[in-house]
């Protein structure tokens, strides 16, 4: 009898971790500049495009046609979806074991999954993520082979493992582009809910560009894909396919009051996972740019009521000490007021542009810093203080494990 891990943390909303972790909390997404987790779009430089092509399986083509056939997707892609067992400690009755899903992305043996499937990231009590001591991959035909942990990204909840490409026939699945996903697009999820391997569920994309609390870090994950395709425990790390059989996301969370599927699931966008995977393959770790501020949205109606000279932007509510934002002299607000039925922190600088890109919301800051910028880079930042517009140059740091 396998011992399954179950961890529970209660916050304002209950979010089920779909792998071996039973439930964690989802709360309203914040506007951390250092928060969030990366992007929905990877900047496709020639070097990056070549790296993605060599790391994955470009020879696997999308399915033909414009119709949505779950049966066809299952027939074509299920062989590339695997069940992952992660064991912490020695095997036996006292061992802690978690189970999730994953999918083969390369003939070289690379398999993508969630970080919380192969590490302790997200377990109650916090602390650093500890990888499983043993990882086993079970294929569609029931065969089982060992795998090694290549690395993980706690910010985007992405994990990468590798099997010997000669140990079993591999059927890599093609990766799509989550930036091109639209609300209403049909999707199919394949995974091992509750240990029921090779299970198929279908639905639609309910929303895109969602900003949600990460299950595995203290930052927010931006550009998550929301779907009503039923996702349950054990689906974590499995692929979310579009109508042409391309992976557009990694199933990661559900929002539920009971811990069961309730029609609100979330997937890590595959564009984010690609970036994580390439960093893990090349460097064994991921790095994110960091400014060290928290922000909230400035919307037109609030701007008008409070007399702001701009209609939209990101208002700074906290500047962390000894951060790039503090060094640049950015100011945080300290005057809470009630506006239109919600609390708003006024008095902080309103960021309207970073590195030449317009900022219209707190999520835009997260997106720009994590998608387009790198640690050590110096970029211009434009903000409004009072009635004056200012520009400073900020040298970006590297995101710490916890906000400071």
Catalytically active residues are 116, 157, 236
Give the angle 151-157-159 at the CA atoms, nearest 5°. 30
Write the CA distances from 258 to 13, 15, 123, 198, integer angstroms.
10, 9, 18, 24
Q: Give residue 154's Cα distance to chain centre.
A: 9
CB 78 within 8 A of CB 241: no
Write the CA distances from 380 to 45, 242, 305, 362, 376, integer angstroms.
22, 38, 29, 17, 13
DSSP state of 126: -
CA distance linking residue 185 with residue 183, whole number of Å:
6
CB 139 within 8 A of CB 270: no
CB 152 within 8 A of CB 131: yes
Strands 220-227 and 265-269: antiparallel
CB 256 within 8 A of CB 264: yes
């Amino acid at each position: 009898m396998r011992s399954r891990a179950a961890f529970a943390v209660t916050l304002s909303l209950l979010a089920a971790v779909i792998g071996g972790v039973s439930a964690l909390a989802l709360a309203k997404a914040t506007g951390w500049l250092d928060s969030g987790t990366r992007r929905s779009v990877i900047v496709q430089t020639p070097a990056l495009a070549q790296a993605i092509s060599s790391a994955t399986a470009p020879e696997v083509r999308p399915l033909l046609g414009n119709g949505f056939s779950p049966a066809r997707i299952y027939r074509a892609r299920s062989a590339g979806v695997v069940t992952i067992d992660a064991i912490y400690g020695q095997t036996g009755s006292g061992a802690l074991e978690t189970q999730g899903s994953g999918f083969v992305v390369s003939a070289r043996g690379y398999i993508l999954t969630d970080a919380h499937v192969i590490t302790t990231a997200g377990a109650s009590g916090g602390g650093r993520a500890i990888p499983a001591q043993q990882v086993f991959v079970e294929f569609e035909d029931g065969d089982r082979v060992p795998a090694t942990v290549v690395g993980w990204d706690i910010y985007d909840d992405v994990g990468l493992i590798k099997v010997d490409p000669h140990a079993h026939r591999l059927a890599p699945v093609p990766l799509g582009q989550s930036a091109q996903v639209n609300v209403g697009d049909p999707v199919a999820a394949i995974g091992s809910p509750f240990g029921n391997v090779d299970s198929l569920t279908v639905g639609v994309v309910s929303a895109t560009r969602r900003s949600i609390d990460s299950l595995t870090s203290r930052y927010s994950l931006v550009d998550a894909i929301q779907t009503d395709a039923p996702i349950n425990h054990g689906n974590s790390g499995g692929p979310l396919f579009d109508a042409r059989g391309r992976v557009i996301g990694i199933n990661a969370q559900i929002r539920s009051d009971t811990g069961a599927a309730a029609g609100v699931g979330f997937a890590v966008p595959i564009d984010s996972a690609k970036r994580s995977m390439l960093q893990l393959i090349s460097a064994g770790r991921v790095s994110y740019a960091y400014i060290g501020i928290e922000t909230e949205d400035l919307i037109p109606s609030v701007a008008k009521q409070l007399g702001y000279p701009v209609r939209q932007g990101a208002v700074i509510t906290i500047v962390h000490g000894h951060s790039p934002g503090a060094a640049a002299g950015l100011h945080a607000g300290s005057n809470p007021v009630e506006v239109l039925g919600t609390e708003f922190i006024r008095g902080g600088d309103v960021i309207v542009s970073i590195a030449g890109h317009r900022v219209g919301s707190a999520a835009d800051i997260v997106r720009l810093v994590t998608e387009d910028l790198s640690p050590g880079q110096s970029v211009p930042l434009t903000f409004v203080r009072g009635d004056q517009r200012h520009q400073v140059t900020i040298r970006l740091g590297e995101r710490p494990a916890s906000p400071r």
